[in-house]
Amino acid sequence: MNAETISQLYRKRFANRSLILVSNREPYIHRKTKTGIKVDTPAGGLTSALDPVMRAIKGTWIAWGSGSADKKVSDEEGKVMVPPDDPLYTLKRVWLDQKEVDGFYYGYANQALWPLCHMLIEKARFHQRHWRRYFEVNRKFADAVIPEIKNKKDIIWIQDYHFTVLPYMLRTRARDLTIAMFWHIPWPPWEIFRVIPQRIEILKGMLGCDLIGFHINRYCQNFLECVENEMGAEIDWDKNTVFYEGRDTRLLPLPISIDFNTFEEMTREATAKTNLPDIRKKLKLEGKYVGIGVDRLDYSKGITERIRAIKLFLKKYPAYHERFTFIQIAVPSRTKIQEYSELKVRIEKMIDEINKEFGTEYWTPIIYYSTNVPHKELVNYYRIADIAIVSSIVDGMNLVAKEYIASQVDEKGVLILSEFVGAVAELNKAIIINPFDVEHFADMIRRGLEMPEEEKKRRMQKMRAYVQTHNIFDWINDNLNAVQKETL
Ligand code: ADQ
């Protein structure tokens, strides 16, 4: 599948039915700068995955207008056409004041639901005031969605944990609507979910959907278990369906992916512009093995566990001193939350200590960039890396792993992948590690670097073939098929 086939299929199957996508994060952020208005694309799995889809389908994307120049470039309804350099679809912005952002986004979404769904109970904070704001902001989004519905068969597609109560709000306003949701993070087992004081409201809210997609079946099963224990609703376990208040909600495992061809193309373009020896020279990496880690700076990504393993690797295998450099690119995220700002300091301190302990005049063991690197440049780091490490302690899917694979046009790289990411079932030709088992992890770094060329190629070819044929457009096709089935 590609963008063109998806847009044709959509037009054929859903003639006159628009797609209204709702997410918290917007795909384009207009920012005031000294030299004029600049447009940023945020780092993060959700927007990177859905922008190609919206370009193909040309629907309306409703999201929080978070940029300092967003209002300036939008009309009185908050609308602007995007992408800015090639306008294809409408972005409708919802304006939130600081109190709303603090309660809804930094509060309930990211200090209650995010840690809880990543099974880190001790990090979760439940404040009633956060919940109230979260609820009000969901209502504000409902108010923004309703006027966009031109035909009662339009499809409303809600993204993620920021909007658990929105589906039911929409359902009560218009019972016939087609409402689908995709849940981008893990869904925890009931023993963990039951900690949430507002768990009934959350489940009831989500059961306003016709369809809820999760990355893997285990998350669907966890959700059903929560519904069974909390709601007393009728469940068909074989069909992954809940019957509640006279309607069905179907759950489906739909593993998300990336725009493989675009990543491959970006890599080829980058290769044509600069060859690998030049990049290595610029970064003083000539003749060295290179490792790469790319993450939003989040405690779920296992960055501290990764650094610990690299330290042990350097301790255990001194032959790699001055021969192996790890590049960690971590874009700061949610830094207003103390947990995140503390993590940033901790990671930087750990890297500093390793560089002091092992580094020499000619060698920095870990090169650290704390910044957002556009995908066009990121592919350069992916392609010079002999190994990539994805070591999340919990992760719904993880797109970085798939991006690294798409960028290995010469089929040489090795992926070291945590067994706790959703992607592990699909990418089983990676070297699988448990990020908590530091000794094994350190040994697997060595194994990755010393893997025979022929084995590297065999593994990488298999994973590339898989991601190429299970790309973001296949994912959207699966979602649309499911929507069509549920709403005929
Ligand atoms: P995220 O937690 O944001 O997404 P992930 O899937 O790894 O995680 O996607 C990260 C995205 O941000 C990738 O496209 C990556 O290239 C980009 N990125 C990361 N660091 C960057 C940097 N320094 N500069 C530029 N870009 C950077 C959530 C879930 C995941 C799930 C996705 C999609 O937590 O489990 O895979 O949604 O559903």
Distance (angstroms) between ligand 1 centre and the Cα of 400 equals 6
CA nearest to 417, candidates 444, 396, 439: 444
| pLDDT recorded at residue 187 | 98
- Which of 160, 254, 296 maximizes ligand 1 atoms within 8 Å of its Cβ, making it the mutation to test the pocket? 296
CA-closest residue to ligand 1 atom 14: 45
What strands, in cross-sheet order, belong to the sheet with 89-94? Answer: 79-82, 89-94, 60-64, 19-22, 155-159, 178-182, 211-214, 247-253, 241-244, 234-236
CA-closest residue to ligand 1 atom 27: 43
| pLDDT recorded at residue 45 | 65
* Tokens of residue 288, six digits: 């060295």
| pLDDT recorded at residue 160 | 96
CA-closest residue to ligand 1 atom 16: 400
**C-alpha to C-alpha distance for 54 and 91, rounded to whole angstroms:** 10
Backbone angles phi, psi at 96, to 5 degrees: -120, 140
155-159 and 19-22 beta bridge pairing: parallel
**C-alpha to C-alpha distance for 294 and 23, rounded to whole angstroms:** 23
| pLDDT recorded at residue 174 | 82
- For the chain, residues with pLDDT lower than 50 are none
Q: Are 32 and 63 in contact (CB under 8 A)?
A: no
What letter would DSSP give residue 371?
Answer: S
| pLDDT recorded at residue 106 | 97
| pLDDT recorded at residue 306 | 98
Distance (angstroms) between ligand 1 centre and the Cα of 399 equals 6
| Residue recorded with tokens 């780092």 | 43
Q: Are 112 and 126 in contact (CB under 8 A)?
A: yes
| pLDDT recorded at residue 44 | 67
- Which of 185, 400, 479 maximizes ligand 1 atoms within 8 Å of its Cβ, making it the mutation to test the pocket? 400
| pLDDT recorded at residue 426 | 97
Distance (angstroms) between ligand 1 centre and the Cα of 483 equals 25
Show the ligand 1 pocket: residues with CB < 6 angstroms.
43-46, 48-49, 184-185, 256, 294-296, 329-331, 372-373, 378, 395-400, 403
| pLDDT recorded at residue 488 | 60
Q: Which residues have CB under 8 Å from 284's CB, separation 6+?
A: 362
CA-closest residue to ligand 1 atom 18: 43
Distance (angstroms) between ligand 1 centre and the Cα of 301 equals 10
Distance (angstroms) between ligand 1 centre and the Cα of 401 equals 10
Backbone angles phi, psi at 60, to 5 degrees: -120, 130
Distance (angstroms) between ligand 1 centre and the Cα of 46 equals 7
Domains of the chain: 3-256+472-487 (3.40.50.2000), 260-468 (3.40.50.2000)
| pLDDT recorded at residue 444 | 98
